[in-house]
Chain A
Amino acid sequence: MIHQYKLNGYNIVLDIYSGSVHLVDEVAYDMIALFENTDHEEIISQMLARYGHMEDVTEQELRDCLEDIQALKDGGKLFSEDLWKDVEQAAFQATKPVLKAMCLHVAHTCNLNCNYCFASQGNYQGDRGLMSFEVGKQALDFLVANSGTRVNLEVDFFGGEPLMNWDVVKELVQYARTLEPIHHKNFRFTLTTNGMLLDDEVTEFCNKEMHNVVLSLDGRKEVHDRLRKNFAGQGSYDIIVPKFKRFVEQRGDKEYYMRGTFTHDNVDFTNDIFHMADLGFTELSMEPVVSPPDEPWALNQEDLPKLFEQYEILAKEMIKREKEGRPFTFYHYMIDLSGGPCLHKRMSGCGSGTEYLAVTPWGELFPCHQFVNDPAYSMGNVWDGVKNTELGEKFHRCNVVANPDCRECWARLYCAGGCAANSYHASGDINGTYEYGCELFKKRMECAIMIKAAQQN
């Protein structure tokens, strides 16, 4: 399978199974489109009719190009075979995934009252509460005990707002560090925060201990304050932006993301990304809102072409700013063509419910943060482990192989089947398709690869 597209003056051909990316001219682009299903003499005739007026298009030259295409095919870089068909079932049935990542919900409460919050203002439609050190300690012990030979373990302090339970976060980090030498593990901690309680003490600890910190900012003041408000209805922009600036100044070269959410109210979201960049932030992420379709801020079908255009605007602006010496990164455009994931990773889904679990403040386990407090998706608890093994098995099989739509999709090896929670919320089945999200994802991949082409051309 191949995927061809034109963007920003580049003609790009992706060979799906090998992962190869080819940058071609107009003539080769058309020849590749015809190559597998058209007689090669006929291809030459068509190309001469279409491009014969061009100086460098001769019959001999076209034959050379056909040979080049054949050479790429013979070399496994074009029209390559489906590599996973022989291993798919064997690989999944024979392997038992081990736990390696945990989303610790240390606070099911929040000091902001954001309208669009998928976690229902932090409580996940349940009780408000904070995780005790004992529950968190048991969660870490459970993670280590079930992580097999994996060395790198990931723990995200999440909420609600995790800084509302800061002392427990620090205690848990310190406890985890004591486990590392005993069990030969390396903990990587992430903190996701709205910034309201960010101060120098938090910053100093984060810079020492947190592998990554995700800071929530939606962009322009009027956009951010429209939905990210406190319980008195006041916007939070003026409080958090100075804190974020100070935090990032002290962060040095350690990882962080300025992460925003865009909604129907700001489909021109690139202006929010550019606003973040203009504030001096360089590591940026902006996500489409996750929301029931009847909410006023939900994205709709009419927004889709506008969003496509926005992703193109973003890609072109990033190329421009890089040339000007003021680059910024966008999470979804950070594609790693030469050092990216292996085929196993690309086939095996997001890991929710298998290698990744969410833990509530009371120690209950869910497949991921987006399933928390959905009783149908309760998997067990940190003392007794995963009791709902049937559910665990279902998530283990949730991947690009399980979804028939994915089999026909050129982007499947860039997304591994997408987000199970999005699929569930859109279709009622974790193996279903969240078509809207797929369309956005494919557009982002086209843009990301185009940027790579521009950088190497």
Chain B
Amino acid sequence: MKRIKTLETRDLAKSLKTGGCGECQTSCQSACKTSCGLANQQCENSNR
């Protein structure tokens, strides 16, 4: 595609089927403690 470059991202549709194991870090249990974001949370599901 000449005008569009798509970055590699996780397929969220697929993750709906394989995700939800809950082993990842709780969102607030890290550096912030006063605001919430989860974009930086690592997925820990080896079967994703």
Contacts and interface: CB of A to CB of B under 8 A. Distances in A.
Interface of A: 17-25, 27-28, 61, 64-65, 68-69, 72, 76-77, 80, 83-84, 87, 98, 100-101, 103, 118, 150-152, 154, 156, 158, 188, 190, 192, 212, 214, 257, 259, 261, 285, 287-288, 290, 331-332, 334-346, 350-352, 355-356, 368-370, 413-419, 422, 437, 440-441, 444-445, 448, 452-453, 456-457
A122 B21 CA distance: 35
A190 B5 CA distance: 39
Contacts of A64: 2
A343 B12 contact: yes
A329 B41 CA distance: 14
B45 to A, nearest CB: 7
Given A72-B4, A339-B42, A341-B19, 14 more contacts: A20-B6, A20-B7, A64-B2, A69-B4, A100-B22, A101-B29, A190-B29, A337-B8, A340-B39, A340-B42, A344-B15, A345-B41, A370-B34, A414-B38
B8 A336 contact: no
A22 B42 CA distance: 22
Contacts of B28: 350-352, 356, 368, 419
Nearest to A257: B31
B15 A343 contact: yes
Contacts of A337: 7-10
Nearest to A420: B36
A270 B47 CA distance: 39
Given A419-B36, A437-B35, A22 B6 contact: yes
18 contacts: A22-B6, A28-B4, A100-B26, A332-B32, A334-B39, A334-B40, A336-B41, A340-B42, A341-B39, A344-B16, A344-B20, A345-B19, A345-B24, A419-B34, A419-B36, A441-B37, A444-B37, A456-B5
B27 A416 contact: yes
Interface of B: 1-13, 15-16, 18-20, 22-45, 48
Nearest to A192: B33
Please report whether the interface of chain A is mostly helix, strand, loop or mixed according to DSSP.
Answer: mixed
A257 B30 CA distance: 9
A19 B26 contact: no
A322 B7 CA distance: 20
A150 B45 CA distance: 12
Contacts of B26: 100-101, 154, 350-351, 355-356
A86 to B, nearest CB: 9
Given A336-B42, A351-B27, A418-B36, A342 B7 contact: no
A336 B39 contact: yes
Contact of B43 (A27, A285, A342): A342
A28 B3 contact: yes
B38 A448 contact: no
B27 to A, nearest CB: 4
B2 A340 contact: no
A61 B3 CA distance: 10
Contact of A288 (B18, B35, B36): B35
A83 B39 contact: no
B30 A342 contact: no
A335 B12 CA distance: 15
B36 to A, nearest CB: 4
Contacts of B22: 98, 100, 150, 344, 355
Given A340-B10, A342-B19, A414 B42 contact: no
A355 B23 CA distance: 11
Contact of B20 (A17, A19, A259, A342): A342
Contacts of B36: 350, 415-419, 422
A152 B23 CA distance: 6
Contacts of B37: 332, 414-415, 441, 444-445
Given A336-B40, A368-B28, A72 B6 contact: yes
B11 to A, nearest CB: 7
Contacts of B40: 331-332, 334-336, 340
A79 to B, nearest CB: 13
A416 B39 CA distance: 9
A342 B4 contact: no
Cβ-closest 9 pairs across A and B: A342-B19, A344-B20, A342-B15, A28-B3, A257-B31, A101-B26, A334-B40, A285-B31, A419-B36
